[in-house]
Structure 1
Amino acid sequence: MSKFYKKITSKLQKFIEAQKIFFVATAPNSGRINLSPKGMDSFRVLDENRVLWLSVTGSGNETAAHLLENERITIMFCSFEKVPNILRLYGKGKEIKPTSSSWNELISLFPITPGTRQIFEITIQTAQTSCGMSIPFFEFKGERNDLNDWAAEQGTENIEHYWKDKNQSSIDGLPTNILK
C-alpha cells in the first residue's frame, strides 16, 4: 500500500542514506523521458523539503535540458536488502553551476569527484513510499571507479571540451546551457 508525505521524514532520510543506488527521471514537454541510475556518494538531504544531487560528466546532460524547460524531476530509491521499500521524491529542480554564488557552500557537502559538472537542487513537493515486495535481493559489492578514473585522466580542459562536444543539447535537441 502506498503512502504519501509532504516532507522527508527522519525515517525516510535514514532510508535514503542507506541506499547505494538511486534513479533520476525527467522529461521534456515533448520528447523522450530520461531515466538514469545514479551511484557514488552523490546525494544529500538538506532538510525535509530540499535535496541535492551531484552530477558528474556523462554521455548526456538530459536532466539539465529538461529542468530548464519545466523543472519536473522524480528521484526513486528502492531497497534491495532487508525490508522491501520503494521511495519516490517528486519535485522541482534547478541546476547549480560552478559559477553560481552558492556553489562553494554546496560543493563542500560532497567528496571531491573528478568530472563534477553541476549540482541539482530539488525542492520536494511530495514523497511516496510503496511496498517493493517484488524487488529482488541484490548484494552491494562496491563502487565502480571507472567514471572517476576516466574523468581524472581527462583533466579539466579535456572535460570542458567533452561538454562542448557531447553535453550541450539533449537527445531531443533541447539546450542544456552547460557552458553558460
Structure 2
Amino acid sequence: MKLHERIDGRLRAFIEAQPMFFVATAPSGPGGHVNVSPKGMAGTFAVLGEHRVAYLDYHGSGAETIAHLSENGRVTLMFCAFQGPPNIVRLHGRGRAVPVTAPDYAELLHLFPSPPDTHGVRSVIDVAVERISDSCGYAVPLMSYEGDRDILIRAHERRTDADLAEYRRLKNGVSIDGRPIFAEVANEG
C-alpha cells in the first residue's frame, strides 16, 4: 500500500478513467448496517481538486449513504482496475449530501463537465478527501467494460419533479435502520 498526498497526475487519470466505483458508509455506534454501493455512468463523477471529489446521486431503492453522511460524514470511495495493470485506489474522507432542494445544488452540478441527463439526480455527494491510498489489486479480476446502462436515466425521464419528490418521501424517507434521510421529506409531505 502507498499513501498519496493529493489526487493528481496518474492517480487522477486512473480515478477518472474507471467506469465504476464503490461507496462505503456506516452509521455511528455499534449498531446499524454498513453500506456499500456500486456507482457508475459516464459523467457522474468529478475530481474537484487535489482533496475533493463529488458524484451525482440518482434516485434509487435506498439512500443509506445520505443517512450515514448526515449522521457522521464518514465515507470511503474505492476504484478498482478491471482492465490494464492491477490497482485499487481508496479515497477516505468526510462527505455531505447536497439535495436537489438545497441552494448550492445548482452550483455543484455545474462542476461536472459532461453529466448525463440530471433529471433523476436526488443529490450531489461532495467529499473532502482526507486519506488517499492505493494497493496492488492483484486479486481483482480482469473484466471487459461494454458500456453504461441507460435504464436508470430512462426510468427517471418518465417522472416529473413532483413524482421524484414523492419518491423521496415514500421510498427514501428513512434508512434501513430507521435513520432519517432527507430533511426535505418532512416539508414535502
* Common fold: TM-score over 0.5: yes
How far apart are residue 102 of structure 1 and its match? 2.4
1:1-180 equivalent positions in 2, closer than 5 A: 2-29=1-28, 30-40=31-41, 41-110=43-112, 111=115, 112-177=117-182, 179=184
**Cα distance in 1 between the residues matched to 2:85 and 2:124:** 31
- Structure 1: 5+ residue stretches without partners: none
**Cα distance in 1 between the residues matched to 2:102 and 2:54:** 15
| Residue-by-residue CA offset, 1:100-154 (whole Å, 9 max, x unaligned) | 3322221123323231100011000011100011111111111101111111112
Output the amino acid matched with 1:21. M
**Cα distance in 2 between the residues matched to 1:141 and 1:114:** 24
Output the amino acid matched with 1:27. A
| Residue-by-residue CA offset, 1:84-115 (whole Å, 9 max, x unaligned) | 00000000001112333322221123323231
SS at match of 1:154: coil
**Cα distance in 2 between the residues matched to 1:160 and 1:98:** 10
Range 101-110 or range 7-16, more displaced: 101-110
RMSD: 1.3
Call closer, same or farther: CA 1:99–1:155 in 2, change over 3 Å: closer
Moved over 3 A (4+): none
**Cα distance in 2 between the residues matched to 1:105 and 1:159:** 21
When the two structures are superposed, what TM-score results if normalisation uses the length of structure 1?
0.95
Output the amino acid matched with 1:31. G
**Cα distance in 1 between the residues matched to 2:39 and 2:165:** 21
- Structure 2: 5+ residue stretches without partners: none
When the two structures are superposed, what TM-score results if normalisation uses the length of structure 2?
0.90
**Cα distance in 1 between the residues matched to 2:21 and 2:44:** 10
Percent identity over the alignment? 42
Call closer, same or farther: CA 1:133–1:119 in 2, change over 3 Å: same
1:6 touches 1:125 (CA, 8 Å); kept in 2? no
**Cα distance in 1 between the residues matched to 2:164 and 2:98:** 18
SS at match of 1:150: helix
